[in-house]
Amino acid sequence: MKKLGKKNNWAAYLYILPLMLLSFAVVYYCIIRTFMTSFTDWNGMSPEMNFVGMKNYIKLFKDATFWKSVTNNVIFFFGTVFVQAAVGFFLAVLLKKKLPGSNLFKAVYFMPIAMATSIITAIFRIIMDPTNGALNQFLHAIHLDMFAVSWLGDKRYALLSVIIVNIFQWMGFSMITYYASLMSLPDDVYEAAKIDGAGFWRTLTSVTFPMVKGTTNVLIILGIVGSLKTFDIVKLLTNGGPGRSSTVMNVYLYEKAFKDFKAGEAAAIGVSILIIAMIMSFLQVKFGKED
């Protein structure tokens, strides 16, 4: 039996070997190559590549624009992930009650996820236009002129606008994820809570939310990775401006690599993003288990 078990183990490894080789070729090779490039002065085009040690990292950590992009990434993370999770959770709770039109609502609410980011950003650039945009015209119509601002052109509101658009695009994902988790919960737990006299809010906070803690942790980890990967929505809405007010790390990486032709420094930014993602994900998993 032991020999048979060992044979089955080897067979299992053989089945996953092609995927492992493909992952190494496509993913891990690129990571290793990026790590090696971060210690060079490569410009991204020339075959010449000189080893410069930690120079790129030292320069990066002294770069105010880099730290501004890190700060923007942190703001973007807290401004999107927790809002998306909170709203998605409450919507999923309401949808679980099988209200009239709930299936149509799920389909409509999930639709932005299936849309290309370029389409969504094009729509919101029209909506948020300071002169003819529907948002400012609506604010003028209800006599809230003080809130009719240049949403994408003012450095005070540019990052907020990006956060709002990102929430619109991805809130449906949180809703569907929570909804699937809620549908798997046993009904007898809710019946017991009802017998004990627990109302809606008591059941929500003491029964429902603790039972979907695993889903919340997964959404936060995905949010960490997603926020650090953010590029297209910022690039298409604000291009990182005005005045670096909405520049995130990936936008700055792009500029270093393809505008300044400093691939070595861009690679150092990429390695920094990877390290930050690994640390934050590890901490979330660790403290999530302890909770």
- Are the beta carbons of 250 and 273 closer than 8 angstroms? yes
pTM of the entire predicted model: 0.87
In a domain, 141, yes or no: yes
In a domain, 224, yes or no: yes
Domain with residue 202: its CATH number is: 1.10.3720.10
Looking at the structure of the chain, the number of domains it has is: 1
Please name the amino acid found at residue 6.
K
Which residue range is the domain that position 202 belongs to?
Answer: 65-290
| pLDDT for the residue 105 | 83
- Residue 155's nearest CA partner among 95, 93, 245, 239 is 245
- Residue 214's nearest CA partner among 113, 109, 284 is 284
- Are the beta carbons of 212 and 178 closer than 8 angstroms? yes
- Residue 54 contacts by C-beta under 8 Å, 6 or more apart in sequence? 39
Tokens coding 2? 């032991």
Tokens coding 258? 């393809």
In a domain, 13, yes or no: no
| pLDDT for the residue 289 | 64
To which residue do tokens 């809230």 refer?
144
In a domain, 6, yes or no: no
| pLDDT for the residue 28 | 85
In a domain, 96, yes or no: yes
Tokens coding 26? 């496509």
In a domain, 3, yes or no: no
Render each residue's pLDDT in the chain as its tens digit; 291 residues: 455 455 567 887 888 888 888 888 888 888 999 999 999 999 989 889 999 999 999 999 999 999 999 999 999 999 999 999 999 999 998 888 877 888 888 888 889 998 999 999 999 999 999 999 999 999 999 999 999 999 999 999 999 999 999 999 999 999 999 999 998 888 888 888 888 888 888 888 888 888 998 899 889 989 988 999 999 999 999 999 999 999 999 999 999 999 999 999 999 999 999 999 889 888 887 776 655
In a domain, 32, yes or no: no
